[in-house]
Amino acid sequence: MEITVTKTTCPKEKPDSSTLGFGKIFTDHMFMMDYAADKGWYDARIVPFANLSLHPASTVLHYGAEIFEGLKAYRRADGKVQLFRPMENIRRLNNSAERLCLPTIPEEDAFQVLTEFVAMEQDWTPSAPGTSLYLRPFLFGNDESLGVHGVHNATFVIIASPVGSYYKEGINPVRIMIEDEDVRAVRGGTGYAKCGGNYAASTRAGERAAQQGYSQVLWLDGVERKYIEEVGAMNVMFKIGDEIVTPMLSGSILPGITRKSCIEVLKKEGYTVSERLLSVDELAKAMEDGTLLEAWGCGTAAVVSPIGELCYKGKRYAVNNGEIGAVTQHLYDTLTGIQWGKLEDTFGWTCPID
Ligand code: PLP
Ligand code: COI
């Protein structure tokens, strides 16, 4: 795929990497390409970072035809920059596109444009501990018509943002409220797709939890409000006795790449990992009888986020005395060790950028 490059004439100053938040600062350039049903993808280009111009009737603005991805470029100790399992993000992007009737991108083209864009912006990858260059590919429908139908015109964009930790708590345990009113997604809906609408629909519960001093909510299934699904915008795992339990991918759960990586690390090390239904009653019982030993969320932004307290129907339960547990810490150390190139990557997950 031919990519034209237009360089910015006014490069920005790079931020001090010790003061980075999440997703507030953007690099000098962005990648864009357009799609038309009769042409396929065309006009692949890297251009100076700028506002987008959209027709007011664009599909994305009315019917939410938008999907996105999130992955990071990491600065290794030897100065090189690397990605973590980028093909997984590309495959998930296409699965999301298929669900929302948006055009898919041939995997090898998506990989080429992503890696060429990262190569161009790699100087923006910060080097302070815990920092990285967050990449946000997104794809939206922009037919200039108010009719509700499959998309004929679309745009794919990649922007990049140097980031620090996602949660202000960093790797410190967070307080989580079990949400038994709103649901994030339903089977048959879009829960397994990374589409903007899922996040819009989940904001209310998150805001309500925040008002009561909680960092996020633990989502229950949309049919019975009985089975645990995810935590905030992360997958969730529990250590109950000797078993590591994570909700099975039922269609309403996003198949997280961090989740998959945690499972692969734990299985390789001989842990018993179950992907199964976990009811909130079983979890409550484990909290009551002391067999819930650890709980954590996992996702690209925070890597691993320990849960120190769970609140269910007004009752508060401390998890591991509100401290990070040994398995949670081990997963954090292993994944971040591989991502930042401090540990040998025996899984073949990393992808260096030239
Ligand atoms: N679940 C939701 C709803 C998410 O938004 C994310 C983040 O991308 C995850 C889970 C974790 O996925 P990943 O590990 O691929 O970042
Ligand atoms: C994650 O990477 O874990 C996320 O949930 C990303 C979020 C900003 C949508």
Instruction: Look at residue 170 in the predicted model and tell me its pLDDT.
Output: 63
Instruction: Give the E-state strand segments of the chain in sequence order.
Output: 4-5, 29-36, 40-48, 66-68, 71-75, 81-84, 132-141, 153-163, 174-178, 216-220, 228-231, 235-240, 243-247, 272-276, 292-299, 303-312, 315-318, 350-352
Is 70 exceeded by the pLDDT of residue 167? no
Is 90 exceeded by the pLDDT of residue 47? yes
Q: What three-state secondary structure class fits 55?
A: coil
339 lines ligand 1 (CB under 6 A): no
Q: How many residues does the chain have?
A: 354
DSSP output for 219-271: EE-TTTS-BEEEETTBEEEEEETTEEEEE---SSS---HHHHHHHHHHHHTT-
Structure token digits, residue 316: 């508060």
How many angstroms is it from 85 CA to the middle of ligand 1?
14
Question: How high does pLDDT run on average in the chain?
Answer: 96
235 lines ligand 1 (CB under 6 A): yes
φ/ψ of 304, rounded to 5, equals -135, 135
- Return d(Cα 138, Cα 160) in angstroms, integer: 11
Is 70 exceeded by the pLDDT of residue 96? yes
* Ligand located closest to 236 CA: 1
How many angstroms is it from 234 CA to the middle of ligand 2?
7
Instruction: Look at residue 63 in the predicted model and tell me its pLDDT.
Output: 96
All domains of the chain in start order, with CATH:
4-165 (3.30.470.10), 174-339 (3.20.10.10)
- Tell me the per-residue pLDDT of 106-118, one tens digit each, with 9 for 90 and over: 999 999 999 999 9
Q: Is the pTM for the entire model greater than 0.85?
A: yes
- Return d(Cα 303, Cα 296) in angstroms, integer: 10
The answer to whether the CB of 252 falls within 8 A of the CB of 185 is yes
Euclidean distance between the first and the last CA atom of the chain, given in angstroms as a whole number: 18
* Ligand located closest to 69 CA: 1
How many angstroms is it from 235 CA to the middle of ligand 1?
6
How many angstroms is it from 232 CA to the middle of ligand 1?
9
- Return d(Cα 136, Cα 156) in angstroms, integer: 11
65 lines ligand 1 (CB under 6 A): no
Q: Quickly state the pLDDT bin for 191 (edges 50, 70, 90).
A: very high
Q: Which atom of ligand 2 is nearest to the CA of 302?
A: 3
Is 70 exceeded by the pLDDT of residue 19? yes
Residues of the chain above pLDDT 70, percent: 99
